[in-house]
Amino acid sequence: MSVLSCRGLRKEFSGHVVLDGLDLDVAEHEVVALIGASGSGKSTLLRCVNLLEEIDDGTIHLDGEHITDPRVNPDRVRQRIGIVFQSYNLFPHMTVLDNVTLAPRRVHRRERAAAEAQARELLARVGLAEKAGAYPDRLSGGQQQRVAIVRALVNSPRLMLLDEVTSALDPELVGEVLTMIRDLKAQGMTMVLATHEMGFARQVADRVCFLDGGKVIEQGPPEQVFATPTHPRTRQFLHRIIEAGRL
Ligand SMILES: Nc1ncnc2c1ncn2[C@@H]1O[C@H](COP(=O)(O)OP(=O)(O)OP(=O)(O)O)[C@@H](O)[C@H]1O
Ligand SMILES: [Mg+2]
């Protein structure tokens, strides 16, 4: 059974159709990269999956549960999905540890000590143990993004959604975030990521999905989609990427 299953997703913003009958399935432990032109709906799709946007038609199932059923409590669904954005969105007035434990303390009303112990363990695993007491402005961009990923991991999510998580980073800091995502993949985390960096998609994704006209119009293993795209729109897109020196 799929961890994530989207059927016939439709999303429009005041008459502008962004998702137009989109289907997407993601298997357990699978890493799927969403690629496509700016404005093709990658972020919108991730936000719909996390119930940050209400869809206009279609269904989304998480572990077989129909999460776009209006009777479903969105907070309960969001606890099972970790989401990380391009901008790290850490609270500047809170330490790394408080940033990471805010959600578990609030949503789960768990014991503070238990939440902190888990947070420290996760931070240690990504080499940030000694930064627990630091404020975000004392961290590099790469470190801040790794903290943001740790924060998304504290609920032990079933699914991680990563939206352009490396694009705000200086090139030399991209590597450490990439390593962290590769480690997550090795641990079996199911992930959907949107990216403009084809190198990133090639390195971590099991499958690449090309979005165009509100649908996934081509998909397959990265080697296949990048080397022998079959759809003319995919070819055109990749051609532009190659011209920009990003493939
Ligand atoms: N809240 C919103 N209100 C109105 N229009 C929106 C909203 N969010 C997204 N859009 C529009 O939906 C379309 C898809 O945007 P989206 O951010 O999903 O694209 P994207 O594929 O993530 O692009 P990028 O690669 O630049 O991140 C765009 O035309 C955008 O302007
Ligand atoms: Mg986007």
Domain-by-domain residue ranges, the chain? Answer: 4-80+159-243, 92-156
Minimal-distance CA residue to ligand 1 atom 7: 13
Task: Say if strands 190-194 and 207-212 run parallel, antiparallel, or are unpaired.
Answer: unpaired
What pLDDT does residue 174 have? 85
213 confidence band (pLDDT: 50, 70, 90): very high
Residue 52 pLDDT greater than 70, yes or no: yes
Of ligand 1's listed atoms, the one at least distance from the Cα of 37 is 25
CATH number for the region 4-80+159-243 comes to 3.40.50.300
- Of 43, 49, 200, 241, the one to substitute when testing ligand 1's pocket (max ligand atoms within 8 A of C-beta) is 43
Mean pLDDT taken over the chain: 93
- 14: left (phi > 0), else alpha (psi -120 to 50), else beta? left
Of ligand 1's listed atoms, the one at least distance from the Cα of 45 is 18
Distance 39 CA to ligand 2 centre (A): 7
Q: Tokens 């989401």 correspond to what residue?
A: 83
What pLDDT does residue 246 have? 72
What pLDDT does residue 88 have? 78
**Mean pLDDT of the 167-183 span:** 87
Which residues does 70 contact at the CB level (< 8 Å), separation at least 6?
Answer: none
What pLDDT does residue 181 have? 93
In a 3-state reduction of DSSP, which class is residue 9?
Answer: strand
**Mean pLDDT of the 191-207 span:** 94
Distance 18 CA to ligand 1 centre (A): 7
What pLDDT does residue 108 have? 67
Closest CA to 152 of 180, 173, 114: 180
**Mean pLDDT of the 97-120 span:** 82
Distance 117 CA to ligand 2 centre (A): 34
What pLDDT does residue 232 have? 97
Q: Is the CB of 38 under 6 A from ligand 1?
A: yes
What pLDDT does residue 107 have? 65
**Number of helices (H), then strands (E), in the chain:** 9, 10
Q: What is the pLDDT of residues 65-79, one digit of tens each?
A: 999 999 999 999 999
Distance 112 CA to ligand 2 centre (A): 34
**Alpha helices, DSSP H only, in the chain?**
42-49, 74-78, 96-107, 112-125, 141-153, 171-186, 198-204, 222-227, 232-243
Residue 210 pLDDT greater than 90, yes or no: yes
